[in-house]
Each structure stands twice: as C-alpha cells, then as structure tokens.
Amino acid sequence: MDPLSDVLSLLKPQSHVSAGFDAGGDWAIAFPRNAGIKCYAVVSGGCWLVVEGVDGPVRITAGDCFLLPSGRPFRTCSHPDVPPVEAGTVFPPPRAGGVITYNGGGDVFLVGSRFVLSGAHADILLKMLPPIVHIRKESDQAALRWSVERMMHELQNPQPGNFLVAQHLAHLMMIQALRIHLAEGMEGGVGWLFALADKQIGAAIGAVHADPAYRWTLQALAERAGMSRSSFAEKFKTTVGTAPMEYVTRWRMLLAGDRLAHTDDSISVIALSLGYESESAFSTAFKRVMGSSPRQYARRAPGSQQEAEAAE
C-alpha cells in the first residue's frame, strides 16, 4: 500500500455516526475535545469554523469540505461573536442518520460524520495530520460532490441499509479530502502529511513504508531522496518534525503494535519481520516508542486474545 493508505489502515477509522445539520438565524455550537476524526461538507449556505489553536476563524461555504483530524475543541457558528451553546444541548446521543434542525433551519445545511479510531496509539498517528483539512477549490469539490449528495440523500430518506451506506460514503469523503489536500502540494507545514507532498522526502517515506524491515540507514534514505546525507537529514527533520531514523523506528513499532493486537504472531516473529535479529533489541525499541513492553502491550490491547484469556 501507499503511505496514506498505510496510516489510515492503522488508524482503523469507523464511522460512528453520520447526520445532517440544518441551522438558521444567529447560532453557535461548541464541540468538546474528542478522540477521533470529524468530516463535514457544506451542502448549502455558509458559516464559520473556529478551532482551538488555529489562528482566526475560517469561513466555510457551499461546496466546501473539511476534516478535523486532531480532536481539538472547535465551534461552528453563524458569526464568531455569537455566544456558543454546548453541543450536548443540541445533538442527541450518537445515533445513525437523520437531520437535526436548529433555530428553524434554512441558512446553512451540513452533512458530516465522526470517526471512532479503533487503532492503537491513534494519537501518535494523528499528530502527523494538520488540525484542519479544508477543501475549497471548485475542481476539488467536484470530486467530492457525488459522495456529499449521496450522503444527504441517505440521511433524508430512511431506507434499509442506510447506516452502512452512510458509513462507507463518509469514509470515502475522508480519504478523498486527504488525497486532494496532499495533491495540492502543501508548503510551510510540519508533519507527516505535509512531508508526503514533498517529492524528495515523500520518496524516502514511501520507501520505508514499502519495506520497513530493510536495514535503512541515513545514507540509504538520502539516496532514495536524491540528496546528500546532511541536506536530507536537515530537510527531513524540518519537514516531518522528527529525525529520519526516528521515523523509521516509530513506523516499525506502530506496525508491531498492530500485529500484537490483531494477530497471534510471536514477538520473535514480529521482530524478525521488521528487521530486528534480536528480540531484546526489538523489545527495547518498542518500549521506548510505545511506552510498554511488547508482552504488556499485547495483554492490554482491546479485543486481543490475551485480553480475552485474562477475562476468563
């Protein structure tokens, strides 16, 4: 798989709830911090988006799509000066489908989904994504339009299988939005997704993801990027936010954590498959990155065989 697919596969995003929101008049709704990804599209009208830690409010209008992958508190509003109410007073407990009308509706209509991330250490992976992914170009919106329109239809017209269709459409919207954002060639940001937009650094990251067990060295990665070792190391750290070999180790440990949680592979087998000839060297690296030993991690992983046996 490609690096974007790799990361999303480890995140294991599952659409927890999809819904429509129809608002009118003066309104503002504050959403608390959450441990997932939120994806929205503006079907008609417009409003403002204010995200904690992001400079200034962002205007979103019909056709726009935006992702909030960092889980930061945010608010949507008719105007940034309107005092907000808590989201819990407007939205019912999570449920499948439906449209919520607020203040009579009629001024702005959004469809959106919240993704629960079942992958372990999602926080590490989400740090690789920007706080807001905003799709606003007409050409890019066209690529999302079918999914948005289909989502709106599913939410407004209850039919058998609505929930599953909405879940797949939401997943498609999220991936397409990230793909478009990546293709735009982002500049000035720091993080994994920004790095993929750089041809040189992206080539090195792609090589690591394609063969994580390879005995990567700084020189080998620099050659994949077509750069000198010193220039590559400096650019990688500036673009990604971590040193090249630290990235290699972290990616290997994330892969190991996924296998410990979802397979019966032994630690020695996982270590060897990721380029470690010594189980002790692998365990040391794993504990440094993941915060616990491989055995402790496997026992605590939700749904793992070890957890099930411990519960018996």
CATH topology of domain 3-183: Jelly Rolls (2.60.120)
Tokens of residue 11, six digits? 């995140």
Per-residue confidence (pLDDT) for residue 184, from 0 to 100:
65
Residue 305, pLDDT > 70, answer no
- Taking the C-alpha atoms of residue 136 and residue 132, their distance in angstroms, rounded to an integer, is 12
53 vs 166, more confident: 53
Per-residue confidence (pLDDT) for residue 191, from 0 to 100:
66
Per-residue confidence (pLDDT) for residue 197, from 0 to 100:
76
Region(s) of the chain under CATH 2.60.120.280:
3-183
Give the pLDDT confidence of 59-77 residue by residue, as tens digits: 999 988 888 887 889 999 9
CATH 1.10.10.60 corresponds to the domain 192-305? yes
Per-residue confidence (pLDDT) for residue 138, from 0 to 100:
77
Per-residue confidence (pLDDT) for residue 302, from 0 to 100:
56
Residue 152, pLDDT > 90, answer no
Average of per-residue pLDDT across 244-257: 94
Tokens of residue 52, six digits? 């904690």
Residue 312, pLDDT > 50, answer no
Region(s) of the chain under CATH 1.10.10.60:
192-305
- Taking the C-alpha atoms of residue 248 and residue 253, their distance in angstroms, rounded to an integer, is 9
> What percent of the chain stands above pLDDT 90?
45
Binned at pLDDT 50, 70 and 90, residue 167 comes out as confident
User: Closest by alpha carbon to 33, among 85, 69, 70, 71?
Assistant: 71
Give the pLDDT confidence of 191-210 residue by residue, as tens digits: 666 777 788 999 999 999 99
* Length of the chain counted residue by residue: 312
User: Closest by alpha carbon to 64, among 48, 83, 85, 51?
Assistant: 48
Cβ atoms of 23 and 107 within 8 Å: the answer is yes
Q: How far is CA 265 from CA 74, 269, 271, 289, 303, in A?
A: 41, 6, 10, 20, 15
Residue 232, pLDDT > 90, answer yes
pTM value is 0.69
